[in-house]
Amino acid sequence: MESSMQPALEELDRAECLRLIAPGGVGRVAFDDGEGPAVVPVNYAVDGESVLFRTSVSGRLNRSLLTAVTGGQVRAAFEVDSIDTATRSGWSVLLRGGAHRLSDEERDKAVRVDPWPGGDRDAWFRLTASDVSGRRLSPP
Amino acid sequence: MESSMQPALEELDRAECLRLIAPGGVGRVAFDDGEGPAVVPVNYAVDGESVLFRTSVSGRLNRSLLTAVTGGQVRAAFEVDSIDTATRSGWSVLLRGGAHRLSDEERDKAVRVDPWPGGDRDAWFRLTASDVSGRRLSPP
């Protein structure tokens, strides 16, 4: 019976998803490091239908990502959401596709990503979305 | 040069990670649906060193999760974070392990999970953490 008073999830189209994530900020990259899925928050920027993010070359999970994509692409997902616990509402967007590490040349031409943490965050990645989906939950 | 003024990420121990996620709320489950990693926000509750979450049996990604775990476990990750864009700080916790769908009997004995969206959210899962890690970024 609880369901009848609660709002339903609304599917968002591709254009709306890209609009929602356009400002950049913090997203979460998911990849398989050989021991199953892992998820790490990163700062990101949007460039067309791809997202750019930077990470450290030293973190354990990051090393796995680096190893996975060296010399090629790895399947990855990128999730961005905005959730308001007070009104129990929000939206989430999921990009799925291939991630690759930028070469120095690609990096120099890329949109800037401003990472919050200090330390070297010298590994830049681009995830090109082959699939974009999203959902919105309106306040009750 | 930008790095010198920025704070470093601090690794959190297991006890601190479990303390941070204890209140429950919204987390993100990551799993491979056969087409690479996917990430979906869900409402969750903590039960010891495992997390319980509920989802709909009708969503596309959810169907993939259901298919993957039918009759067994699937490797999955569960991420919870709290991020303050104003101060550019926050924490994130990652649980990695096996997820399985609860039987009716397990469900009746389980900690309650209160999902925000309406509609049937009748598939309950438990992710038992074999690995718990987390990081905190303090304000600059």
B4 touches chain A (CB under 8 A): yes
Residue A81: its pLDDT value, please? 96
CA distance B138 to chain A (A): 9
* Residue count of chain A: 140
- Which of A55, A116, A120, A133 to probe the B interface (max B CBs under 10 A)? A116
Q: How many CA atoms within 13 Å lie on the side-chain side of A109?
A: 5
**What percentage of chain B reaches a pLDDT higher than 90?**
46
Displacement of CA B81 from its chain's centroid (Å): 9
Measured CA to CA in angstroms, residue A61 lies from A35, A95, B33, B64, B125 at distances of: 11, 20, 21, 25, 25
Q: Do B75 and A9 touch (CB under 8 A)?
A: no
Of A84-88, B21-25, B120-124, least confident by mean pLDDT is B120-124
Is residue A69 over pLDDT 80?
no
Digit-coded pLDDT (tens) for B21-71: 999 999 999 998 888 899 999 999 999 889 999 876 666 666 777 776 666
Question: Are B92 and A6 an interchain contact pair (Cβ–Cβ within 8 Å)?
Answer: no
Range of lowest pLDDT (A70-84, B5-19, B103-117): B103-117
Q: Any chain B CB within 8 A of the CB of A72?
A: no
Residues of A in contact with B9 (CB under 8 A): 56, 59, 117, 119
User: Which domains, and CATH codes, for chain A?
Assistant: 10-131 (2.30.110.10)
Neighbouring C-beta atoms of residue A138, cutoff 10 Å: 14
User: What's residue B1's pLDDT?
Assistant: 42
Q: What pLDDT was estimated at residue A57?
A: 64
Residue B16 in this model has a pLDDT that exceeds 80: yes
Which pair of structure tokens corresponds to residue A112?
A: 């800037």
